[in-house]
Amino acid sequence: MAETVALNRKARHNYLITDTFEAGIVLTGTEIKSIRAGKANLSDAYARVERGETWLVGAHIAPFEQGNRYNHEPRRDRKLLLHRTEIDSLMGRAAQKGLTVVPLRLYINDRGRAKVELGLGKGKQLHDRRRDIADRQSKRDVERELADVTRGRR
């Protein structure tokens, strides 16, 4: 089972995710040690395709505490590993429909490799977010009423 290290909670709130991709990530030695220690943050991160390569921009991986002068820069751009067909598909769909590539979560897979789950999403407007919140609230209310009825409280 994959161990989730960092989760981008704002991504599903601000974007309507239509498709997801799994990408490897190129890291240095101290970066993978920090990720395994759970010191990563994806809240301000996004991915972009540049000259046929995919890059993770804005992800914060804290410097490793036991690292010396070879420690890494916390917010550097990191290359993502995708197949050529996936990069072409991502680039074409993002440019055509005005979609954004957003990192959803950073995790360590069963083989010990760091992976990023990318989502292809369209930005939600304020009224869309409000509708989602209202739907969630009404669903909670209905579940609460059903639970009360089944427990015999009403």
Q: Tens digit of pLDDT for each residue in 10-65? A: 888 888 888 888 999 988 888 888 888 888 888 888 888 888 888 989 888 888 77
Residues across the chain: 154
How is residue 21 written in tokens? 């991709």
Q: Which tens digit of pLDDT belongs to each residue from 88-126?
A: 888 877 777 778 888 998 898 888 888 999 888 887 777
**DSSP secondary structure letter of residue 73:** P
Architecture of domain 3-123: Beta Barrel (2.40)
Domain segments of the chain: what residues?
3-123, 125-154
Which of 117, 118, 106, 110 minimizes the C-alpha distance to 32?
106
Torsion of CA 84, 90, 96, 100, to 10 degrees: -150
pLDDT number for residue 142: 92
